[in-house]
A and B are shown apart, each in its own frame.
Chain A
Amino acid sequence: MNSELALIKRIEAYLYQEMSDEEMMQFEQERAEQPDLDSKVIAHLDFLKSLKGYGEVQELKSSMDSFHNELDIVSLKEELQEKESAFVLYFRKYQRNFAVAASVAILATLITLISTGQFRKSGNSSTYNALKRDMESIKKSQNALIRNINSKSPNKEIAPSQFGGTGFALSSNGYLVTNYHVVQGADSVYIQNNKGESFKVQTIYIDPSYDIAILQIVDPLFESLSPLPYTFKKSSSDLGEDVYTIGYPRDEVVYGKGYLSAQTGFGGDSIAYQVSIPVNPGNSGGPLMDNRGNVIGVISGKQTQVDGAAFAIKSDYLLKAIENIPQDSLKKKLKINSKNSLASFNRTQQIKKMQDYIFMVKVYN
């Protein structure tokens, strides 16, 4: 122990030059001769270096702390902190959840669009929406209910029709008109009146360019209608004229009222009027009536994403189509009524009288 202390003394004396020249020379010689001593000296020097280094760092730290106190950390922080809105932080935290939710939403949207047939292009224009009623989607949701009600009774299967529209009588002996797009591609077509009676009809003439189809009731149960109360207007109607329609957008007859808003139809189509009237799928083929009980058109479609733009084929084109029917294809004479018995009635009475002549057209294919 003491020898160690003595050694420290000697080394220190040597380092701080507190030795005589003679002693120093001797020490250096000893170092050269004894590697053991030499390494001890070096270790001591290293230790002192660490000690001094430690001291330096301590000093550096304390002066840095004093500099640090001069900084205005709060305002610096304010300035340098990247501003992130609460939403961004929230979003970051729940990024994964958002991603899952978004993909589910997208998937659901796609499925909905595909299942409702939004991706099926309809003919020449994408925003023109023919008002044929697709029963399938409505029936599906209702079938469950119907089945529940009927679950005990042995069910007599009546296949629901797949599409529906409206049609109205042209004459009392069983001729009707509807839109061509309603009966297009049909296997069989039935009509149903407001009392719920169904009759089988046949398509006897079509005019795709005017979107007109003429039907004839071929059901043996059908007896002729009473004389038609309304007539067909041969001239064109004026802008702003009050109009109304009766049709079957539901299984129930529905009245809709509006006004004539333009002389041409979708995309400037001159065979149709633009009508501002609430119509829905199922209204296709319904009559467009004026105040005096004249048929001025046949409801045929509406423009999607535009408010109050429905279209109706002008009655003179309907009459033209009727004229074009080859006479020999008609089993009975098709005589267009020219005696109006509605003109003097008010609207509700007109509707009451007309209901018997307006049918739901049910299409099976």
Chain B
Amino acid sequence: MNKKINHSKPTDSEIILGILNNSSSILKHLYLAYFPMILQLVINNNGDEDDAKDIYQEAIIVLHGKIKSGDFELSSKLKTFIYSVCRRLWLKKLSQKSRFSGDIKDYEDYIPVEQEIEHHQEKDRQFAMMHTALKDLGEPCKTIIEDFYIHNRSMQEICEKFGYTNADNAKTQKYKCLQRLKKLFFNQKNEK
């Protein structure tokens, strides 16, 4: 029953290095290598392929964030880490949906990942607030902020894109947008 997934090419440490260097091909390799394992876990435990996709991507985000923040120690195989995070996430989801029968069919070894999950959920809440705040921000502010802070475009580019007469005008607009975004973001935080 237990299907082992073939993965041989990049080693775990090569993958970590690749993620640190924003290598898209390494990320792709990682993604494709372990998805079947998680699909197997989920579809044989009362889930479907969309559930599998959701929790798998969440787990990759956890791993990605952990590697990027620099506090990832390779104490277990990446595979085990991913499996453990997915397993934990899936158990949570099952109990939320109250579909959990009290028993999960396991396919791999797993390690405790409570801290990672807690940390991830805290971050996830922040991201959700950021998402809402950006949405409420409206155009053109949203694009200006995203272009500058997320896509790392220069003010010159942004200035041209939006047809501002000079970079200083664009900059002033950006500051105003940022101020509003902060307000929207922190208001949500206070509401909670």
Interface residues of A (CB under 8 A from B): 4-5, 8-9, 12, 44, 47-48, 50-61, 63-64, 67-68, 70-71, 73, 76-77, 79-82
Contact = CB atoms under 8 A, between A and B. Distances in A.
> Chain A at the B interface: mostly helix, strand, loop or mixed?
helix
B150 A57 contact: no
A80 B3 contact: yes
Q: Which 8 A-B pairs have the closest CB atoms?
A: A55-B150, A80-B40, A54-B130, A67-B31, A54-B127, A67-B28, A82-B44, A73-B49
A57 B175 contact: no
B179 to A, nearest CB: 5
A53 B40 contact: no
Nearest to B41: A80
A8 B65 CA distance: 27
B190 interface: no
Contacts of A70: 32
Given A4-B179, A50-B126, A52-B150, A79 B145 contact: no
A60 B61 contact: yes
Interface of B: 1, 3, 24, 27-28, 31-32, 35-36, 39-40, 43-44, 49, 53, 57, 60-61, 64-65, 68, 105, 123, 126-127, 130-131, 134, 145-146, 149-151, 175-176, 178-179, 181-182, 185
Contacts of B68: 56
Given A51-B145, A80-B44, A63 B27 contact: yes
Contact of A54 (B3, B35, B57, B131): B131
B15 to A, nearest CB: 14
Given A8-B178, A52-B150, A57 B36 contact: no
A47 B149 contact: no
Given A64-B60, A80-B44, A57 B32 contact: no
B149 to A, nearest CB: 5
Contact of B39 (A47, A52, A57, A80): A80
Given A5-B175, A60-B60, 19 more contacts: A9-B175, A47-B182, A50-B127, A50-B130, A51-B145, A53-B65, A53-B126, A54-B134, A54-B150, A55-B150, A56-B150, A57-B127, A61-B57, A64-B27, A73-B49, A76-B39, A77-B49, A79-B36, A81-B43
A73 to B, nearest CB: 5
Most A CB contacts (10 A, CB to CB) among B39, B131, B185 go to B39
Contacts of A55: 146, 149-151
Most B CB contacts (10 A, CB to CB) among A9, A56, A59, A64 go to A64
A77 B182 contact: no
Nearest to A84: B44
Contacts of B39: 73, 76-77, 80
B63 to A, nearest CB: 10
A70 B27 CA distance: 14
Given A53-B123, A61-B57, A82 B1 contact: yes
Given A68-B53, A82-B44, A76 B36 contact: yes
A48 B151 CA distance: 13
B36 A80 contact: yes
Most B CB contacts (10 A, CB to CB) among A50, A54, A59 go to A54
Contacts of A80: 3, 36, 39-40, 43-44
Contacts of B32: 67, 70-71
25 contacts: A8-B182, A12-B178, A48-B149, A50-B127, A51-B130, A53-B65, A54-B126, A54-B150, A55-B149, A56-B64, A56-B68, A56-B150, A57-B61, A57-B65, A57-B127, A58-B150, A60-B64, A64-B57, A67-B28, A67-B32, A68-B31, A76-B39, A77-B39, A80-B43, A82-B105
A44 B105 CA distance: 46
Contacts of B182: 8, 44, 47
A54 B68 CA distance: 13
Contacts of A61: 57, 61
A1 B61 CA distance: 37
A55 B68 CA distance: 14
A73 B151 CA distance: 31
Contact of A63 (B24, B131, B176): B24
A82 B28 CA distance: 27
